[in-house]
Amino acid sequence: MLLGPHGSSPSPVSLSAKSGTVDGEMNFIVTKNGIQLRDNEGETEKCVVHFSAPLKTWWTDVRFACGTIHVFGSQTQAAEWVSTRKIFDLFQFLLIYLKCERYGFRYGEAMNLETMWKLSKAWYENKASHDYDRLDAQEVTDLFRELGLVSEFWSR
């Protein structure tokens, strides 16, 4: 759920994202100042974005890494997502469990929407310009450190 150049829009942008919870969808309003849940869908402050793939694996298969990023209404929902998947996986061992293990879905780390917003703005700051150049390894390390993302999960 990295937010891309939407944060540079002069007017609010509506964004819908599938929640990591079954049948869940979350609706947001994105402005230059941040992101919040639309209307009364929950508490924005409790929302988290969960990453299954550690940073050092992102460039091996960026589509996979992005596909394992899920938004949840709370940290508890993110943790339950992994537990629920494991219980279901055990029940459907041959069909599901091996597939999850094969593709590496696991509980990684979660960040709140404010941190996600700051990461997205920095990550995609100049993405729409012709002279865009992606962040180099040191810039990524510095950005993650600045955002407080300092565990082994976020290391390159």
**pTM confidence score:** 0.75
Partners of 13 in beta bridges: 30
What torsion do the CA atoms of 84, 155, 61, 32 make, to the nearest 10 degrees? 80
**What would the pLDDT profile of 7-27 be if each residue is shown by its tens digit?**
456 789 998 888 777 567 889
Quote the pLDDT of residue 103: 45
From CA 53, how far away is CA 69, in angstroms rounded?
Answer: 8
- From first CA to last CA, the distance across the chain in angstroms is 20
Class of domain 4-147: alpha beta
Question: What tens digit of pLDDT does each residue of 41-69 get?
Answer: 678 888 999 898 899 988 888 888 888 88
Distance CA 72, CA 148 (A): 20
Q: For 106-148, write each residue's pLDDT tens digit.
A: 778 999 999 999 998 888 887 778 888 888 889 999 999 999 9
Instruction: Give 61-107 pLDDT, tens digit per residue.
Output: 888 888 888 888 888 888 777 665 554 444 444 444 444 444 446 77
Q: How many CB atoms lie within 10 A of CB 52?
A: 22
Query: How many angstroms separate the CA atoms of 149 and 26, rounded?
Result: 24
